[in-house]
Amino acid sequence: MSSVVLLSRDGLLLEQLQAAFARRAPQLKVLLADDPQAAQAQIAACWFPPAGSLRALPNVQVIHSVAAGIDHLQHDPECPDLPVCRVVDPGHRQGMTEYVRWAAIHYHRGFDQVLRQQPEQRWQRPLQRAAAEYRVGVMGLGSLGSAIALDLAAAGYSVRGWARSAKVLPGVESFAGAAGLAPFLDGVELLINLLPLTAETRGILGHATFARLAPGAALVNCGRGAHLNADDLEQALASGQLRGALLDVFDEEPLPPKHRLWTLPAVTITPHMASAASHDCIAEQVAENLRRLQADEPLLNRVDLTLGY
């Protein structure tokens, strides 16, 4: 029987994936890292794999992220140089669009301010503004970013987008490349990050970016944890340049209990829930790539490691 090994620091996720493989790919033997038979597995399905776990599996030929991103693999510094695939779930776009739509309403309508007032029993109604007066910027105009920009534009927001190359989206003012970053940022009141993690985008959510936003702007990070400079975020919040931040992705997941982001004023933490591939979809795509590997066929959703996606 063909086998897959699951590698993650998240015990609950491992249980959920085991159940999904039992439903959707019962022909496979699904093993955990501590199983002696794991050494025979040809494919490793990973989410923040423990350090050294991949090197301990000599027969693995493909490393399969169970998400759309692959940067979490860097948490195993001994990750071998093997083909890497990711999961692409058709429902991913819908979930992300719903999350960001909620975030836009949360800050546009001042729900963040109202929630902070409640413990003080303070009754102060936020100023209601038309969506067209609220300037939203979307960083990253790939499949997800474009869908979100179009959704927010359709809801009436003043939307602009920034990407590596020029995009044409109805109702969205587009900027591109290094030269387009500053004019894109100028005056944005809600900055939404959906960029892939590359050498150029690492740490992009920092002082230089925050300084160009409208005073009192808000940040939503659904990209990658390494996009954010936490020190710069803390300073921007303390100075009032940012009024709040909604963070869904982190360098280390689960976010450690004593991490300062948990208690940073005006920061809302969500547990990487903006959108995720369904467990059944993960099981199906990993199983299909194992079949393709054994049949010497091209792999689905193989990552270009020079681009990082």
Catalytic one of 75, 164, 212, 224: 224
Is 75:49 a contact under the CB 8 Å cutoff? yes
- pTM (predicted TM-score): 0.82
Question: What's the CA gap between 204 and 232, in Å, rounded?
Answer: 11
Architecture of domain 93-269: 3-Layer(aba) Sandwich (3.40)
CA 246 to chain centre: 12
State yes or no: pLDDT of 91 exceeds 90: no
| Structure confidence at residue 4 (pLDDT) | 97
Question: What's the CA gap between 13 and 16, in Å, rounded?
Answer: 5
| Structure confidence at residue 203 (pLDDT) | 98
Terminal CA-to-CA distance of the chain, rounded, Å? 31
Query: pLDDT tens across 47-59, in order?
Result: 999 999 999 999 9
Q: 301: which residues sit within 8 A by CB, 6+ positions away?
A: 85, 86, 87, 88, 285, 289
Strands 62-65 and 43-47 come out as parallel
For 239, the enclosing helix (H) or strand (E) is helix 230-239
Question: What's the CA gap between 256 and 237, in Å, rounded?
Answer: 21
CA 83 to chain centre: 21
**Would the CA dihedral through 32, 38, 41, 47 be positive or negative?**
positive
Active site residue 259: no
Could you give the residue range(s) of every CATH 3.40.50.720 domain in the chain? 3-89+277-294, 93-269
Nearest Cα neighbor of 212 from 179, 244, 182 is 182
State yes or no: pLDDT of 146 exceeds 70: yes
Q: How confident is the model at residue 308 (pLDDT cuts 50, 70, 90)?
A: low
Q: What is the mean pLDDT of residues 30-45?
A: 95
| Structure confidence at residue 148 (pLDDT) | 97
Mean residue pLDDT of the chain comes to 95
Query: pLDDT tens across 159-171, in order?
Result: 999 999 999 999 9
Q: How confident is the model at residue 74 (pLDDT cuts 50, 70, 90)?
A: confident
Query: pLDDT tens across 148-160, in order?
Result: 999 999 999 999 9
| Structure confidence at residue 69 (pLDDT) | 85
Query: pLDDT tens across 177-206, in order?
Result: 999 999 999 999 999 999 998 889 999 999
| Structure confidence at residue 71 (pLDDT) | 85
Is 81:101 a contact under the CB 8 Å cutoff? no
Q: 50: which residues sit within 8 A by CB, 6+ positions away?
A: 7, 9, 33, 75, 76
Q: How confident is the model at residue 234 (pLDDT cuts 50, 70, 90)?
A: very high
CA angle 153/167/137 to nearest 5° reads: 45
Beta strand spans in the chain (E): 3-8, 29-32, 43-47, 62-65, 84-85, 135-139, 158-163, 172-176, 190-193, 217-221, 242-247, 267-269
Catalytic one of 106, 212, 272, 279: 272
Tell me the sheet residues that pair with 302. Answer: 85
State yes or no: pLDDT of 82 exceeds 80: yes
Q: How confident is the model at residue 33 (pLDDT cuts 50, 70, 90)?
A: very high
State yes or no: pLDDT of 277 exceeds 90: no
Active site residue 224: yes
Question: What's the CA gap between 233 and 235, in Å, rounded?
Answer: 5
Phi-psi region of 101 (alpha: psi -120 to 50; beta: other; left: phi over 0): alpha
Q: How confident is the model at residue 220 (pLDDT cuts 50, 70, 90)?
A: very high
CATH superfamily, domain at 3-89+277-294: NAD(P)-binding Rossmann-like Domain (3.40.50.720)
